[in-house]
Structure 1
Amino acid sequence: MIRFLATRLVLLLVGLLIASALIFFTLRVLPGDVAQVIAGTQSTPEQVAAIREQLGLDVPLPVQYLDWVGGILRGDLGSSLITRTPVAEELAEKAAVTVPLALLSLVIALLIAVPFGVLAALRRNTASGTAFAVTAQALAAVPVVWAGMMLVIVFAVWLGWLPPQGFPRSGWDDPAAAIRSLILPALTIGVVEGAVLLRFVRSATLEAIGQDYVRTAAATGLTRRRALITHGLPNVALSVVSVLALQVAGLLVGAVIVEQLFTLPGVGRMLVSDVGNRDLEKVQGAVFLFTAIVLVIGALVDVLARVLDPRQRETT
């Protein structure tokens, strides 16, 4: 197990290093110049060059990359090229919206996927089981933007239960208002991601039902449902845990879109704005943070799967 943990840690660090290089140098290929944005359209080439020198943009790219990576190792993501405020400070402020949105979306997705996925497998030859499977297939194909618009029309326009857009200016000082403003965005992401995950849960449950140990448990007097819950669901949990890393990536991508749709002041909305302003320090900081979260969660999922599955531990 120790060898596995050491190997997984090395792979994680290598992945983060490769990701940082791809993010940094790919962003430099994009057209535009932040120095020109800051100087304005009426600026002279000399003024633009002075701003580039002031911001350190005249330094060779490999040197800029090494400086950025060195800052990350010290916990410093740099400063915004436009506002000159620390990137980590702005990300922390925006994450106060994005992180609760992602967590609430994940909870909704699991509440949809796990019970209904198991139920769809148990009733696979019935009308209700088929309805669950077909509905999940349809919802998984629904674009996030369209799903959000439909939810706004139903719950905000027709019923008037929830606010259609925005986030309270007081932020989390008013928890009730903040949570109400996140419900529709979280439902938008959670319903679509939950439908995707439901199909994996159903497939894993069907596979577990067909295993010998479940049939043996049923032969000893347990009902099929009790045998599945007692002996099959731990193996279903392994499959669900393995898919969660991919789901987190989907949640983060969905958050970027949903924050634009619902005008939430989160990391995703900030990222889209900074791409337009060519504020590369903030963009690369936000993208690297998203990438690091996905890679770290993927590593934790691998470790958790190894802990839950004795067969994997026996191979080390």
Structure 2
Amino acid sequence: MVRIVVRRLLSAIPLLIALSLFVFVLLDLMEGDAARAAAGENATPEEIAAASERLGLDKPLLLRYVLWLGNAVRGDLGESLLSSQSVSALIFERVPVTLSLALVTLVIAVLVGLPLGIAAALRPNSALDRFVTAIASVLMAIPPFVIGLVLVLIFAVSASVFPATGYSALGEEGFGEWLNHLVLPAIALAAISGAELARQTRAAMVDTLGMDFVRTVRAKGLRSPMIVGKHALKNAGVPIVTILGLQASRVLAGAVTVEFVFALPGFGSLAVTAVNQRDIPVILGIVMVSAVGVLIVNLVVDVSYGYFNPKLRR
């Protein structure tokens, strides 16, 4: 297991370097002028040239990338072109908001999607199975921001049950207010994740429940809850955990639009602002931190495979 972790970590290094180079080149090809944005709308050509020299934008692309990479390895992601704040500080003050949203989203997705998938698998081709499959298909076709807007209209504007916008830190006003501000955006994100999890759980459980060992333990008189919980669910765990890991990565991507809709001061809203302002160091920092987050999720998923399938521990 340790060797698997080490191999995954070592393989992540060239992947991160290739990704950073690709994004660096792509950002350089973006329309607009970062130096003009930093100097201001009414800046003179001399002021734009001075801003370009100050920010190092007058250097060749490859040299700028090497300098950035060297600093990034030491944990320095540079400074914002517009605010001159540390990119690391800007990002990590927003990360708790997005992590909170992701945590609540995944909890809702698991608490709803997993039981529905199991229930549908226990009664294949029944009315419940068809209902779960149909609802999951519909939810997977609706973008999270659309679901978010509908939830705001129903539960914030009409009923005033939950706040429409804003965020309350966990340590400021307590757990209740923290959760109260995250329920609607988390449901908007969890709709697709829970639907996908329900479909994949249903498919994995149907295959597992039809295996010989399940028929054997059932013939021995083992009760259905024990068969499902102790035997079938564990054997179906690999595809379920895989799709859960993919959904965790999808939540980070979906946070960009959902945080914007609900005015959450998180990672996603910072990304939207940085792209609009062509703040290249902030965009690069967001991409790299997101990539590291996805790699960590994938590593956790890979390690969990050893629990569900002991053969994979070697």
Q: Same fold (TM over 0.5)?
A: yes
Distance in 2 of aligned mates of 1:171 and 1:80: 28
**Per-residue deviation, 1:307:** 4.1
Aligned match of 1:148:
148
Query: CA deviation digits over 1:197-217, x for unaligned, max 9?
Result: 111111111111011111111
Q: 1:263-302 counterparts in 2 under 5 A?
A: 263-302=263-302
Aligned match of 1:23:
23
Aligned match of 1:257:
257
**Per-residue deviation, 1:76:** 1.4
- Structure 2: 5+ residue runs without aligned partners? none
Q: Does 1:107 align with 2:107?
A: yes
Aligned match of 1:5:
5
Q: Does 1:43 align with 2:56?
A: no
User: Which deviates more, 181-190 or 10-19?
Assistant: 10-19
Distance in 1 of aligned mates of 2:166 and 2:9: 40
Aligned match of 1:173:
172
Structure 1's consecutive aligned runs of 4 or more residues displaced over 6 angstroms after TM superposition are none
**Per-residue deviation, 1:269:** 0.7
Closer/same/farther in 2, CA of residues 171 and 219 from structure 1, 3 Å limit: closer
**Per-residue deviation, 1:39:** 2.0
**Per-residue deviation, 1:258:** 0.3
Distance in 1 of aligned mates of 2:170 and 2:312: 45
2:214, 2:227 within 8 Å by CA — same for their partners in 1?
yes
Distance in 2 of aligned mates of 1:158 and 1:127: 33
**Per-residue deviation, 1:46:** 1.8
Closer/same/farther in 2, CA of residues 237 and 288 from structure 1, 3 Å limit: same
Percent identity over the alignment? 37
Distance in 1 of aligned mates of 2:286 and 2:3: 32
The CA RMSD measured in Å over matched residues stands at 1.7
- Structure 1: 5+ residue runs without aligned partners? none
Partner SS for 1:58: coil
Distance in 2 of aligned mates of 1:173 and 1:2: 40
Distance in 2 of aligned mates of 1:199 and 1:4: 29
Distance in 2 of aligned mates of 1:92 and 1:6: 26
Distance in 1 of aligned mates of 2:216 and 2:150: 47
2:102, 2:252 within 8 Å by CA — same for their partners in 1?
yes
Closer/same/farther in 2, CA of residues 171 and 204 from structure 1, 3 Å limit: closer
Partner SS for 2:272: helix
